Structure 1
């Protein structure tokens, strides 16, 4: 869930609770309801992230990144060796 969607939900909850408050002395009730809505939204986001993190696709992506990181490191080391060799061969003025 994107942060902008979460922010939109929180703002909507605040407006909804504010519209339901009939009198100014019910601000404590409004604050408690907003806190409850925010807590529920945070739990929903946490559950969604946990589900995505534990998914097979996420595990495959982590394995792919791990495998390709080693390959990229090897290629960078090879490129560095070539540049060092080129640096030594380049005549100085």
Structure 2
């Protein structure tokens, strides 16, 4: 989950707590409520991340990466060689 989404959830929680306060409360109570909302949002984010990580698509992607790691290394080595040749410039220059 993106940090901006977590920030949005945090701001929403703060606004909800402020709007819910019918009578003036002590700042400690407000802080406690915001902390509770933040903990709930963090727990929801952790759950969402673990769900995505355990998904079939993520598992397939990991397997594909593991299977194709050698090929990727070969292609990166080739690209590096090409960049070195390009950096040297044309022969005889």
TM-score of the alignment, normalized to the shorter chain, above 0.5: yes
How far the C-alpha of 1:18 sits from its partner, in A, is 2.3
* Cα distance change on mapping 1:26 and 1:76 into 2, 3 Å: closer
Q: In structure 1, how many angstroms separate the alpha carbons of the residues matched to 2:2 and 2:45? A: 9
TM-score (normalised: structure 1): 0.73
Q: Which has the higher helix share?
A: 1
* Aligned counterparts, 1:7-46, within 5 A: 7-21=7-21, 22-23=23-24, 25-46=25-46
CA shift, 1:30, in A, is: 0.5
Q: Could you give the per-residue CA deviations for residues 38-77 of structure 1, whole angstroms, max 9, x where no partner exists?
A: 0000000000111111111101101111222210212344
Q: Whole-Å Cα distance in 2 between the matches of residues 76 and 17 of structure 1?
A: 52
Cα distance 1:72–1:36, how it changes in 2: closer, same or farther (>3 A)? same
RMSD over equivalenced CA pairs, Å? 2.5
Larger relative contact order (CA 8 Å, sep ≥ 6): 2
Equivalent in the alignment of 1:48: 48
Cα distance between partner residues in 2 of 1:31 and 1:68: 50
TM-score normalised to the size of structure 2?
0.73
State the aligned residue count.
86
Q: Structure 1's 72 and 28: CA in aligned 2 closer, same or farther, altered over 3 A?
A: same
